[in-house]
A and B are shown apart, each in its own frame.
Chain A
C-alpha cells in the first residue's frame, strides 16, 4: 500500500515539476519532472507489476494535469462581430476527390500497412508469435503514418504509385522469406 501512495505522489510531483518549469520557462525543472516521472514508473511497477505500472505511469498524467490547467485558466472578452457562416463545398469535383481519399486511406493503405508490416517482421530474427505480435503493434502506426503522408503530400498520384510498388515489394519479400 505504501508503494501505491508513493507512486501516486510521484506521478503528481512529476506533473507539478513540469508545470513549474512551464511557469518559470526553465529547463532544469523540466528534467526534474521527467526524472520524477521515471521514478513514478518504477514505483508503479514495484507496487502493481511492470505491465500495469508502465500503463498507469503513462496514463495518469492525462488526469493529474487538469488541476494545473484549471489553475491557469484565463477569460477572454466576447467579440462584438459575429462572422457570416461559410458555405460548405459539395461540388461534384470535390465530392469525388473526397471519395477517392476515402478509398486510398481505408483500403489501399490498409493493404499496404498489413503487407509492409508483415514483410518487415518476416525479416526480424524472431519466432512466428514474436513476428505476428510485432506486426500487430507496428501496422497501425505504419498505416497512420502512411495516411498522414498521403494526405499531406501534393503529389497524390505519385504517392499512390509509390505505395503500390512498396506493397508489391513487400509481397515479394513475404514469398521469399515465409513467416
Chain B
C-alpha cells in the first residue's frame, strides 16, 4: 500500500477518533460496565431473597397478589423467573414491578434506577430515545471506520505486532498500546460495532421498507421477520400461568425459562408466551405460546426458523455477552475495557502529537476519569434521591468540566485519584445503607471489582502525580538554566511555561 493511501487513512482515522472521541468513550465505558447490568440490578437491592426455583403455585400466588395491588389497565403482564440470569422472582405489568419470595409472597417494589440510567447512557447517550439510538448506532459504524482506517494506516503492522516500548515521554508507549489493542482485539470490536449499529438501524430499515414496499404498514414487515401473534378463538378469564409453566417440563425440559408474558391482557386475543433460553444457541431464546387456559399452541420458531430470523434474534446476546453466564461476561468486560482504552489511548496519542495543549488535555482526562467519578456519585444519589439520575450524572459532568477549567491542578493523576476516592465513597455509603447485605453475593460480585479499581486508581494516580512533580521540577530547573545562559530573562523556546506532564 502506498504512502498516500496510508496517510489519507490516518487522516480519516484521526478526524473520526478525535471529533467523536467523547461520545465513543462514553458509549464504550457505559457498555463495558453494562455487561453486568443484571448484576447491577441485584446489587441495587441486595436484600431481596435469591433462589434457583420456586414452589408450586408460587408464580400464580405472586401474580394474584400483584393484580390486587395493581388493578390498573395494562397491555402486558410479566413474570421474570429465577432461572433468567437473576435468581429472583419478579411480577410486573407495564407500569410497576414487584419482587416475590419463593412461596409467592409479594415483597417490595423493584428499584433499578441506576442500572436503567447506565443502560440508557449506553443505548441512547441519555438523549431522547428515537435519535439517541440512531446516534449511538452511528458510533457503531464509526468504530467500523476506525478499524478499517486503523489497519490501513498502520505503517508497521506486522513489524510491531508484539512490541510495547515503555518509558520515554510516554508517546510511543501510548501508540504501541493503541495499536496492540486495536489489532489483536479487532474481531471483537467489529462484532460489537456491527451488532451495536443494528439496534438503531433496525427502526430506520423497518420504516424505510414499510414506506417503500408495504404502503407504510410496519406491522406487515415485522410479521414477516418475526412471528406474528397466534390466531386464536376469543379468550376470556384469568391466564393459567402456572399450568403453562408446568408444561414446560415436558415441552422443553433442558431450556432454562427466562420470563413469561401475558399479551393483550383481558382482551379476546389474550395469550401466554414463555421465553426460554436454548442451550448452545446464540439466539435470545425460543418463545412457547399458550392460550389463556394454558393449552400449548406451539413455538414462535426462533430456534428452527429461517437463518435470517435466527441471526437477527442472536444480536442481543452477541452484543451484550450474555450467553455463557459469568465467563462470557468477564470476557466481554475485559475486551470492552480494551475498546474503551483504545478510545483513551487514541486521544492521548493525538494530544501528545500536539504536545499536550494544556486545557484540552485536562478536559480530556476530566471526561475519562471524571465520568467514572460522576457514575459513582450518581449511584450514591440513587440511594437517597428519587429524581432523575440522568440529570444528576450530566450535572456532575458539567460540574467536572467547570472545575477543570477553573482549577489548573486538576490533571490526569488528580482525576484518577478522584475517581478512585469516589468509588471508595460509594462502597462506604453502600455498606452503611445496606448493612449486612453488603456482604451478600449480589453485592460482593460487584463490590470486590470496585475495590480493586479503587486500589489501582489511587496507586496509579500517586505514581503519575510523583512523575508529574518530577517533570515540573525538571522543567523549573531547565528554565533557570536557560535564564542563566540567556542572561536576559527570555524563556527558552523549547520549554513550555505550563506543560502537561507526558504521562505513560
Contacts and interface: CB of A to CB of B under 8 A. Distances in A.
A151 B143 CA distance: 14
8 contacts: A18-B161, A51-B281, A59-B335, A114-B204, A136-B198, A136-B202, A136-B315, A145-B145
Contacts of A85: 354-358, 496, 499-500
A65 B19 CA distance: 30
B234 interface: no
- Counting contact residues on chain B (CB < 8 A from A), the size range is 35 or more
B455 interface: no
Contact of B307 (A88, A130, A153): A130
Given A83-B494, A147-B12, A147-B142, 7 more contacts: A51-B281, A63-B331, A88-B360, A135-B205, A136-B198, A136-B201, A171-B212
B197 A101 contact: no
Interface residues of A, number: 74
A158 interface: no
A178 interface: yes
Interface in B360-398: 360
The 10 closest A-B pairs by CB, nearest first: A144-B144, A129-B308, A76-B168, A62-B185, A151-B12, A133-B308, A143-B141, A152-B8, A130-B308, A140-B197
Most A CB within 10 A of own CB, among B201, B225, B338: B201
B241 interface: no
B212 A178 contact: yes
Interface of B: 8-9, 11-12, 15-16, 19, 134-135, 138, 140-145, 147-149, 158, 161-169, 172-173, 180, 184-188, 191, 193-194, 197-198, 201-202, 204-205, 208-209, 212-213, 221, 224-225, 280-282, 305-309, 311-312, 314-315, 318, 323-324, 328, 331, 334-335, 338, 354-358, 360, 471, 475, 478, 493-496, 499-500, 502
A17 interface: no
Nearest to B360: A88
Contacts of B134: 110
Contacts, number: 238
Contacts of A147: 12, 16, 141-142, 145
Interface in A85-139: 85-88, 98, 101-102, 105-106, 110, 113-115, 118, 126-137, 139
